[in-house]
Chain A
Amino acid sequence: MELYRSHVLICRGTGCTSSKSDDMEVKLNELIKEKELDKEVKVVRTGCFGLCEAGPIIVVYPEGAFYSHVKLEDIDEIVEEHLLKGRIVDRLLYKGEEEEKIKSVNEVTFYKKQKRVALKNCGVIDPEDINEYIAYDGYMALGKVLTEMEPKDVINVIKDSGLRGRGGGGFPSGLKWDFTSKAEGDQKYVLCNADEGDPGAFMDRSILEGDPHAVVEAMAIAGYAVGANQGYVYIRAEYPIAVERLQLAIDHAREKGLLGENIFGTDFNFDMEIRLGAGAFVCGEETALIASIEGERGMPRNKPPFPANSGLWQKPTLINNVETYANVNQIILNGADWFKDIGTEKSPGTKVFALGGKINNTGLVEIPMGTPLKEVIYEIGGGIPNGKKFKAVQTGGPSGGCIPADLIDTPITYDSLTEIGSMMGSGGMIVMDEETCMVDIARFFLDFTVEESCGKCPPCRIGTKRMLEILERITSGNGEAEDIDKLERLAENIKSSALCGLGQTAPNPVLSTLKYFRDEYEAHVNEKTCPAGTCKDLVSYSIDPEACKGCTLCAKACPVDAISGERKEAHVIDQDKCIKCGACEEKCPFGAIINK
């Protein structure tokens, strides 16, 4: 094995790659070769580091220098200075909120509070090199179960660990494994749900991009536990990098005899294939996913029967999502007790969240369950940008709800989130500041659900559309007195009548905002005002003549020439021309633009 004095880890997750980290990788290698450093320095392409806000990210070891916002033209300097001369490029080092330059990746606050289990290898190993995975204990868990454990022991470990489904519902994974193992059938299947669809969520993609073997290994373990010899990963085709790396992982595992027949010399056979989804959100619902793999239109079926008894091609089928599988190997290796020590009693382990919205550190974070929302938002997430006030946080995507500021101390567990009208979901976490209108947020999510409804059952197909119409009426200032009651009646009925989880949870964004921000709805309906000042039809912009200094910046910013006034005199906005874009407000240095 060759030894290198330096390792350059370059993030090649989707986020950084779309900011040209692929070109940077090529250039790095070229320059290293040119400088004849290729025997000393190794470039490692990795998966996502998590701190996407700072991307593209390059980390150079052994120093742990954490370069952020790297551009293609910075590569010369990194090679010339750091790799050739051993001088860290200060100007590229990640700068946190604390305004001081931080050198090592280990010193970044963003990472300090995290506990990486599912993301253990992401940003650490080269996902395209099976040897790197193996070097990090890869396939040890599979070896252990095949040579030392009976299937029922495997199931017991998963059961004892208390692992719950990370895809949304939080159903105890061990029970699912147990049901599938006990179901009668000569042919069984193991499926991986990689049809990640919540707006803004990308943890499953990142795991598959950064550590695909973890999923391959866990599925083989699951196959052994439940008695299946065939697995399918259902992944959306919009994840090309993840698809490519997963396919490579499957191919490499097969080459090494880690998939296929007589794995580890035992009589256990297991193989797997990828099935591409066309991007329908509903195909993340397990029965719709199964229908889609079968070649049918992706529409959910009624449960029962559950997939454990009658799933893919009516055969007993185990289906877990990517992040759930990503926990399995370590539970097997470290034991159920180790896992239970992380998190809370009923929600053991960690959870990965995709932090987004009005927050400084957008990206992926993995935290122990039970961590208060506040800690994630303010400490790991770095708080709200531009000194704005925190208003609410949305978890669980279109199925979840909005959690108001006074509940921000709530610890993150499956049950506590459900209790306050939201849900864990797959781990989307969207932060909203004082300028976010909660009615508009509900409208946004309903718009998504309406778009993604499969159309099978009327409550979802027509009901969500009617809810959206009412929300559109309200946000456009045409809300009627009975609209709020209608929304509530619709929401309750859709919840109780819709066929699948997508429909049943679709009203949650409305119900939770109605619960915590009813006054905003009432203001829209009764007073025709938008308290957050974002519903265009309900706001008007004017200029406070006292505060206006006549600097003309607003007039220059206005795209429709609605602002007039002499230099050094108070300006005015022509309401007939104004398109309420808010450009003037952004530009005004004196806070003279009034928006109500």
Chain B
Amino acid sequence: MSKVTVIIDNQEVQVPADYTVLQAARSNNVHIPTLCYLEGINEVGACRMCLVEVEGARGLQTSCTLKVSDGMVVKTNTKKVREARKATLELLLSDHDRECLTCDRNRNCELQTLAEELGIKDVAFEGEKNVNYEDTSSPSIVRDPNKCILCGRCVGVCNDVQKVGVLGFTNRGFDTVVGPAFDKKMDEIPCINCGQCIAACPVGALKEKEEIDYVWEAIEDDNKHVVVQTAPAVRAALGEEFGLKMGTSVTGKMVAALRRLGFDKIFDTDFAADLTIMEEGHELLDRLQNGGKLPMITSCSPGWIKYCEHYYPEFIDNLSSCKSPHEMLGAVIKSYYAEINDIDPKDIYVVSIMPCTAKKFEADREELAASGYPDVDAVLTTRELAKMVKQTRVDFVELPDEDFDEVLGESTGASVIFGATGGVMEAALRTVAEVVTGEQLEALDFEQVRGTKGIKEATVNLNGTEVKVAVVHSTGQASKLLDQVKSGEKDYHFIEVMGCPGGCVTGGGQPHIKPEDRFKKDVKAERAKALYTEDKSKKIRKSHENPMIKKIYDDYFEKPNSHKAHELLHTHYVKRENYPLDK
């Protein structure tokens, strides 16, 4: 791309000709404030925070939409600009539920930060507020329109990235609300609960349905044996909540913290990820060898599963019948673990710490109750875990590194990379390749399926058979890929789909990303790096080599896809109506 010269605040800079003024400024350390802007997703110039003066232009211009041109003279910090931003922010605040102290996003809110930065001392234009009910109907996502500033970031993500499109602007003018159509509630719409809207929200208008109090209650209850498990991606991001650098893996400290919170047992969902690989890998082999439905598609991501049930029901038979790892572990805890420890499964309370809001909906699925009791009783997001830790006032950063509890805490490098897009595929390939060939793999790193490219493809030779695989992350990309499969344009044997862009490391339940980190860092890659580093450092990096996995098959399941395994570790899916008329 050719470069142009732009003068920003008297500083002459060279930037690519296709840059916006905002990009030009940020890449030269001039920080123009934004609220509605999400690069590549929501570039609508609605919030008016990024207004700048451009020589020769009529009126103030939104730097997020204005392209640079050679010789352009931009001023980002004049009195006129400051006054305009301030007045607009005051207006936003005048129509905002300003109960900051009790807000989920207190000290982590882009609106609050801007109000401080722009020096708002007083909201001069008080008046009527657009008051609407808080929608707590969804098991995953709570929508509070009274906190909403109508920036449209969630709308952009839901429509354009995820291609779900259940959020939009309704009503007009002052009465505008972002929410589902026809004033429907969140549990009446084909929302997939991915929580990407929460991740996009700059304020407290979208948040997870909190389950912290139920968990505290269970911990307090002497009759409950409270078991906690943590997903791979949690350890890659939890540290950010405590000021640690992005990409710092905090596995040991996380375990130590959980122990201090009072959980009876601390297990690793990674163990179940290894179990998933055993089950799913053999399911794939079976389908390949015995003419089963192909391509087989992974089923770890509950956002993706619900998306498939709503929008691509014709692919339901392609989904692996494997439960997602934490549900598998829940089922194992309430059966195998309960048996060997002689605990009644009704007294076991399983808590999953997940990077995900869709897992909350998943845990509520009636069919996921192998023992007769829900496989998982409560799901907390990474953010909720951080809140619990903060509530106990444990100094997280100073905690020692501790290990997961025995048996169901043992895991491999293969399982830890489940948290990044391509991780499940890579873990599966490591196992499937060795099972098929009977030989040790020379190189374990399948680079073709790593990284944050939208659709990744690879062909793997398994004993003379070319197995074509694809990896996508975000349901929007999945939709694109499935359309290609449907039309016959593409043909695969195995597809990994993760519902969230970037996979679980950037799931809807992960710590909120600071606005400056959004443009300074490749968040998906940074967090994934923590997982790939952990994988590298593990002695055992293949699921089928996990000694505890071997033990559980020897002691309990006999072999992958056995009858017992099917009873406990597999599930089924249903076609879901999008807007059923009877609702």
Q: Report how far A302 CA is from B51 CA in the complex, Å.
A: 12
B169 proximity list for chain A (CB < 8 A): 297, 299, 455
Stretch from A4-12, A200-208, A462-470, A520-528 contacting the other chain: A462-470
Given A458-B88, A496-B60, 7 new contacts (CB under 8 A):
A455-B174, A457-B47, A457-B48, A459-B48, A462-B125, A486-B124, A497-B87
List the A residue with the shortest CB-CB distance to B43: A302
Is A376 an interface residue, CB under 8 A from the partner? no
Is A152 an interface residue, CB under 8 A from the partner? no
B82-105 interface code vs A (CB 8 A; 1 in, 0 out): 011001100110110000000000
Is B511 an interface residue, CB under 8 A from the partner? no
B171 proximity list for chain A (CB < 8 A): 455
Q: List 22 A-B contacts (CB under 8 A).
A: A297-B168, A304-B67, A453-B172, A454-B173, A455-B172, A455-B173, A455-B174, A456-B150, A458-B48, A458-B91, A458-B150, A462-B92, A462-B125, A463-B91, A465-B174, A466-B127, A469-B128, A496-B59, A496-B80, A497-B51, A499-B45, A499-B46
Is A198 an interface residue, CB under 8 A from the partner? no
B58-95 interface code vs A (CB 8 A; 1 in, 0 out): 01111001110000000000001001100110011011
B61 proximity list for chain A (CB < 8 A): 302
Contact, CB under 8 Å: B59 / A504? yes
List the A residue with the shortest CB-CB distance to B49: A458
B104 nearest CB across to chain A (Å): 22
B44 proximity list for chain A (CB < 8 A): 301-302, 456
Q: Report how far A458 CA is from B62 CA in the complex, Å.
A: 14
Closest 10 CB pairs of A and B: A455-B176, A493-B87, A453-B173, A302-B45, A462-B91, A302-B65, A466-B125, A497-B84, A469-B127, A465-B174
Contact, CB under 8 Å: A490 / B172? no
A539 nearest CB across to chain B (Å): 26
B77 nearest CB across to chain A (Å): 15
List the A residue with the shortest CB-CB distance to B178: A455
Is A77 an interface residue, CB under 8 A from the partner? no
Contact, CB under 8 Å: B173 / A497? no
For chain A residues 294-308, which have a beta carbon within 8 Å of chain B? 297, 299, 301-302, 304
Contact, CB under 8 Å: A456 / B125? no
Contact, CB under 8 Å: A490 / B125? yes
Q: Report how far A468 CA is from B168 CA in the complex, Å.
A: 27
A94 nearest CB across to chain B (Å): 43
Contact, CB under 8 Å: A466 / B168? no
List the A residue with the shortest CB-CB distance to B61: A302
Is A511 an interface residue, CB under 8 A from the partner? no
B165 nearest CB across to chain A (Å): 12
List the B residue with the shortest CB-CB distance to A503: B48
A442 nearest CB across to chain B (Å): 17
Q: Report how far A489 CA is from B95 CA in the complex, Å.
A: 18
A262-305 interface code vs B (CB 8 A; 1 in, 0 out): 00000000000000000010000000000000000101011010
For chain B residues 23-58, which have a beta carbon within 8 Å of chain A? 44-48, 51
A310 nearest CB across to chain B (Å): 11
Contact, CB under 8 Å: B48 / A465? no
Q: Report how far A452 CA is from B150 CA in the complex, Å.
A: 17
Contact, CB under 8 Å: B128 / A465? yes
Contact, CB under 8 Å: B174 / A493? no
Is A245 an interface residue, CB under 8 A from the partner? no
**Main SS class of interface, A:** helix
A499 proximity list for chain B (CB < 8 A): 45-46, 48, 62
A299 proximity list for chain B (CB < 8 A): 169
B65 proximity list for chain A (CB < 8 A): 301-302
B94 proximity list for chain A (CB < 8 A): 462, 466
A345 proximity list for chain B (CB < 8 A): none
Contact, CB under 8 Å: B91 / A453? no
Q: Report how far A269 CA is from B94 CA in the complex, Å.
A: 54
B91 proximity list for chain A (CB < 8 A): 458-459, 462-463, 466
B128 proximity list for chain A (CB < 8 A): 465, 469
List the B residue with the shortest CB-CB distance to A449: B173
For chain A residues 450-484, which have a beta carbon within 8 Å of chain B? 450-459, 461-463, 465-466, 469
Q: Report how far A207 CA is from B411 CA in the complex, Å.
A: 77
A435 nearest CB across to chain B (Å): 30
For chain A residues 229-283, which have a beta carbon within 8 Å of chain B? 280
Chain B residues engaging chain A, CB cutoff 8 angstroms = 44-48, 51, 59-62, 65-67, 80, 83-84, 87-88, 91-92, 94-95, 124-125, 127-128, 149-150, 168-169, 171-176
A285 nearest CB across to chain B (Å): 14
List the A residue with the shortest CB-CB distance to B86: A493
Chain A residue total in the interface (Cβ 8 A): 31
A489-512 interface code vs B (CB 8 A; 1 in, 0 out): 110010011110000100000000
Contact, CB under 8 Å: A461 / B48? no
Contact, CB under 8 Å: A493 / B172? no
Q: Which of B88, B92, B173, B176 contacts A493 (CB 8 A)?
A: B88
Q: Report how far A302 CA is from B169 CA in the complex, Å.
A: 18
A451 nearest CB across to chain B (Å): 7
List the A residue with the shortest CB-CB distance to B85: A497
B36 nearest CB across to chain A (Å): 9
Q: Report how far A489 CA is from B91 CA in the complex, Å.
A: 12
B83 proximity list for chain A (CB < 8 A): 493
B174 proximity list for chain A (CB < 8 A): 450, 453, 455, 461-462, 465
A466 proximity list for chain B (CB < 8 A): 91, 94, 125, 127
Q: Which of A297, A458, A459, A465 contacts B127 (CB 8 A)?
A: A465
B62 proximity list for chain A (CB < 8 A): 302, 499
Contact, CB under 8 Å: A497 / B48? yes
B80 nearest CB across to chain A (Å): 7
- Which residue, A459, A465, A466, A497, has most C-beta atoms of chain B within 10 A? A497
Q: Report how far A515 CA is from B174 CA in the complex, Å.
A: 27
Q: Report how far A496 CA is from B127 CA in the complex, Å.
A: 22
Q: Which of B87, B125, B173 contacts A450 (CB 8 A)?
A: B173
Q: Report how far A465 CA is from B125 CA in the complex, Å.
A: 10
Q: Report how far A304 CA is from B58 CA in the complex, Å.
A: 11
Q: Report how far A496 CA is from B65 CA in the complex, Å.
A: 17
Contact, CB under 8 Å: A454 / B67? no
Q: Which of A454, A459, A489 contacts B172 (CB 8 A)?
A: A454
Contact, CB under 8 Å: B150 / A302? no
Contact, CB under 8 Å: A490 / B66? no
Q: Report how far A319 CA is from B493 CA in the complex, Å.
A: 51
Q: Report how far A490 CA is from B66 CA in the complex, Å.
A: 25
Contact, CB under 8 Å: A280 / B172? yes
A435-455 interface code vs B (CB 8 A; 1 in, 0 out): 000000000000000111111
B259 nearest CB across to chain A (Å): 47
Using A302-B65, A499-B46 as known contacts, say yes or no to A461 and B87 having CB atoms under 8 A apart.
no
Contact, CB under 8 Å: A458 / B84? no
B46 proximity list for chain A (CB < 8 A): 456-457, 499
Contact, CB under 8 Å: B176 / A496? no
B47 proximity list for chain A (CB < 8 A): 457-458
B86 nearest CB across to chain A (Å): 8
Q: Which of A451, A456, A459 contacts B88 (CB 8 A)?
A: A459
A453 proximity list for chain B (CB < 8 A): 172-174
List the B residue with the shortest CB-CB distance to A482: B124
List the B residue with the shortest CB-CB distance to A466: B125
Contact, CB under 8 Å: A490 / B127? no
Q: Report how far A214 CA is from B94 CA in the complex, Å.
A: 49
A497 proximity list for chain B (CB < 8 A): 48, 51, 60, 84, 87-88
B175 proximity list for chain A (CB < 8 A): 455
Q: Report how far A308 CA is from B128 CA in the complex, Å.
A: 40
Using A456-B46, A497-B51 as known contacts, say yes or no to A304 and B66 having CB atoms under 8 A apart.
yes
Q: Report how far A304 CA is from B128 CA in the complex, Å.
A: 34
Q: Report how far A504 CA is from B48 CA in the complex, Å.
A: 12
A450 proximity list for chain B (CB < 8 A): 173-174
Q: Report how far A497 CA is from B172 CA in the complex, Å.
A: 19
Q: Report how far A307 CA is from B47 CA in the complex, Å.
A: 22
A486 proximity list for chain B (CB < 8 A): 124-125
Contact, CB under 8 Å: A489 / B87? yes
For chain A residues 559-584, which have a beta carbon within 8 Å of chain B? none
List the B residue with the shortest CB-CB distance to A298: B172
